[in-house]
Amino acid sequence: MSIPIIDAHAHYGKWFFPIYASDMRSIKDLMLRFNMKAAICSSSKAIVYNLIEGNRELFQSLDPSSGIYGYVTVNPNYLELSKDETKRYLELPEFRGVKFHTTYSGVPIDSKEFRELIEYAEPYDKPFLLHTYSQKDVRDVENLAKRFGGVKFIMGHMGGTETSWTGKNWKSAISASSEYSNIYLEICMTHLEAGKIEEAVERVGSQRILYGSDMTLLNPAHTIGMIMSSEISKEDKERIFYINARGLFKI
Amino acid sequence: MKIADVNTVFGFFPKRKIDCSLERLISLIEKYRISKVLTISLKSAFYNYVEGNEETLRVCNGDSRLIPVASVDPRAYLGGLDEIEELRKRGFRAVRLFTEFQSYPIDYAPLLRLFKNLEGMDLPLLIYNTGYGLMTKVVRETRGRGYPVIMLGCSYSALSEFIVLSIENPHLYIETSLLDTPDAFELLTRKVGSSRIIFGSGIPLNYFESSYLMVERAEISEHDKELILYYNLEDLLKGFP
């Protein structure tokens, strides 16, 4: 890979699948293998289990000198704790954003609790990475983007895919992003549906599309290959791989 | 490295606008220098498998890079053995089930009959993995019948199921297009051996380089990569035409 990469959607920690490349050394190896200059990681433990333990372990492992930055993970089921976590970590330069996963917490993206957390974190001026894997998730992000015009929202997985094979989730995400300039699209997902990146670039423009790997769950090559295969210009690829994230995360 | 792709299609895709034409498939084969592809008309998946099979044979006859795959849609299959024997005689080299589009369960009488009728045909069976437990049921129904089963569309959620099953079921293989964990190839090579991994991309419905890059950048030997990308499929088919 000659093009440098910033990974806007990475994780640190284990998953409940047979994956052994989950520690910081593995992340650094993967970054080297794929010419990644930086990766913004959230804790898998904080997402699927305990936000306090997970955020703490992530903080102890971050290494900005190697390009490894963090998202603080919030769980609106624990509103006050999430506010404490936000305050504790977003003040630090190692943390470049907030991560929220609606599926594992069971809290909708456009919920009273999460809106309260956004209001709390807004002064830090750091983006929110939101897991989106349904049309409802996309609609929820649209609502938030409208309500919080000064906050930047990253739609993780670009709305995702579903078993209908229609692409309707990511098509909805593209529509939402074309409507609201504070919605960014991050494109990693297991399914490799050809054409989605071209459609996103055509309708949104490459300036608000971000490369994300989803490592340590997914292989960085998976999404790199999607971008390499997509029929867009070299300049668009450079923006998606590197330039957009450098600006968004102030790296 | 030479590439043989077990998972390609052509035709018309009704679920979203995308060019799946034969011309598009061939342009990708040429762009990525793929030597051989197993391919099948999408007409078999969405309309009528008998007509789809005719179309597949017709287009493959004119191009030695294209290896014809037949389909049988259990929703229309009446259980005839002659029909399956005919597929082999007419030159099909594998049979594919479109579980991802056709939504029938594995425990379904016409499908169980098909599993039985494929015995002795020496045709690999390709099945798309649609969720936890499907592979377990497929293996249970095909064990000891003498033909290989290649599971398509397996991602991180299918890894443990495949590894546990493959150790005791030598007829089970995995296709690579969605093997998307950071160390899937290293793990599978170590646990079950590279001989059970078959390269597939899903073009033109999928982006090709995702599948290819995951093999190319895996930390396994060059020999293992060659087996995965080409020679395992050649062995399974007992040679390419």
Contact status of A225 with chain B (Cβ, < 8 Å): yes
Tell me whether residue A1 is exposed, middle or buried, using C-beta atoms within 10 angstroms of its C-beta: 0 to 12, 13 to 18, 19 or more.
middle
d(CA B104, CA B124): 20
Chain position carrying tokens 């437990």: B133
d(CA B137, CA B131): 11
Token digits of residue B77: 């299959």
Contact status of A26 with chain B (Cβ, < 8 Å): yes
Does a cis peptide bond (omega within 30 degrees of 0) precede residue B39? no
Question: Nearest C-alpha of chain B: how many angstroms from A91?
Answer: 32
Of B15, B212, B214, the CB nearest to A165: B15
- A102 φ/ψ angles, rounded to the nearest 5 degrees: -65, -35
Please indicate whether, in this complex, the C-beta atoms of B178 and A218 are within 8 angstroms of each other.
no
Residue A78: give the domain boundaries: 5-248
What radius of gyration do chain A's Cα atoms show?
16
Percent of chain B scoring above 70 in pLDDT: 100
CATH number at residue A32: 3.20.20.140
Give counts: helices (H), strands (E), chain B: 12, 8
d(CA A66, CA B49): 55
Partners of A17 on chain B (C-beta within 8 Å) are 156-157, 159-160, 181
Does a cis peptide bond (omega within 30 degrees of 0) precede residue A127? no
Taking a contact as any Cβ pair under 8 Å apart, which residues of chain A between 159 and 178 contact chain B? 163-167, 171
Question: Nearest C-alpha of chain B: how many angstroms from A84?
Answer: 33
Residue B31, H or E segment: helix B22-31
Q: What is the ipTM of this complex?
A: 0.94
The SS3 of residue B167 is helix
User: Residue A163: what pLDDT?
Assistant: 75
Tens digits of residue pLDDT in B45-80: 999 999 999 999 999 998 999 999 999 999 999 999
d(CA B202, CA A133): 22
Find all residues with CB under 8 Å of B159, minimum gap 6, and list them.
Answer: A17, A18, B179, B181, B184, B187, B188
Residue A79 has pLDDT above 90, yes or no: yes
User: Residue B241: what pLDDT?
Assistant: 84
User: Residue A2: what pLDDT?
Assistant: 80
Q: What total of structural domains would you count in chain A?
A: 1
Please indicate whether, in this complex, the C-beta atoms of B163 and A18 are within 8 angstroms of each other.
yes
Please indicate whether, in this complex, the C-beta atoms of B182 and A215 are within 8 angstroms of each other.
yes
d(CA B33, CA A236): 25
Tens digits of residue pLDDT in A163-194: 789 999 999 999 999 999 999 999 999 998 99
Tell me whether residue B107 is exposed, middle or buried, using C-beta atoms within 10 angstroms of its C-beta: 0 to 12, 13 to 18, 19 or more.
exposed
Q: Which domains does chain B have, with CATH numbers?
A: 4-236 (3.20.20.140)
Residue A1 has pLDDT above 80, yes or no: no
